[in-house]
Amino acid sequence: MTDVQGVEERAEQLVEAARTLFEAGVMSHSGHANLSARVDEGRFLLTPGFVRGLRPEQLATVGLDGRVLEGELRSVSAEIITMHSAVYAARPWVGSVIHTHSPAATAFAVAHRPLPCRTEPMLRFGQAEEVPVVPWGPRGSDVSVRGIAEVLERRPTTAAALLANHGLLVFGPDPAATAHLVVAIEESAEAELAAAAIGGAVDFPEGALAAVRASIARASS
């Protein structure tokens, strides 16, 4: 695969991931989000601030140092480059980052409440622990980016974070897997809020993660 083919494939994956989020109904009313996909060690593709009807030609190629290498980004999108860069720098295995204002997850972010892992889809799609909260800072600011980096260092196995008073940040090996985790987290947040009305959600029993992993292994063997 040539470099151009690799970039084109990643671009199509981001377009499909954006479509998945809208079809799943996990986006905010405005449709605001930003998605990225790593191209190589020093570059990633980044979407504009609004991704409804996203097309490959709208993506910009950005360096981990924050420079826009190809394409254009409005100031509203340029502010979040460092947020994505911080995740790629901290997690070499990450191939995609998605930030949304998914309503139920954002409710936990606004409340500064970590989201517990109490639904099986969260276990299956890579977040087998609570989603931690990053302290508030203006979007894309040094305060915000330092907060993200500190949470990722403190929580080396988390694949998501809640940005206080802002929204949700999720990362995974590729755009599809990351989008599926966004959906799982939003569904779990909705379930938590609904369960609160009937007495509250209950934790998994001991060994639940191991049992789920064993079930997945049996199904794929």
* Residue 144 tokens, joined: 């915000």
* 196-211 pLDDT, tens digit each: 999 999 999 888 888 8
In the chain, how many domains are there? 1
Which structural domain, as residue segments, surrounds residue 81?
3-220
pLDDT band at 2 (very low <50, low <70, confident <90, very high): very low
pLDDT at residue 5 tops 60 = no
Average pLDDT over residues 34-45: 94
Mean pLDDT of the chain: 91
pTM reported for the whole predicted model: 0.92
* Residue 156 tokens, joined: 């080396």
SS3 content of the chain, % helix, strand, coil (to 5): 45, 20, 35
Other CB atoms within 10 Å distance of the CB of residue 17 = 26
69 within 8 A of 91, measured Cβ to Cβ: no
How far is the CA of 54 from the CAs of 25, 29, 143, in angstroms?
16, 16, 30
Query: So what's the pLDDT on residue 1?
Result: 38
pLDDT at residue 97 tops 90 = yes
| Contacts of 121 by beta carbon, 8 Å cutoff, 6+ apart | 183, 184, 187, 188
192 within 8 A of 113, measured Cβ to Cβ: no
The one-character DSSP state at 141 is S
Task: For residues 5 and 102, give the distance between their C-alpha atoms in angstroms, rounded to a whole number.
Answer: 32
Query: So what's the pLDDT on residue 66?
Result: 85
CATH code, 52: 3.40.225.10
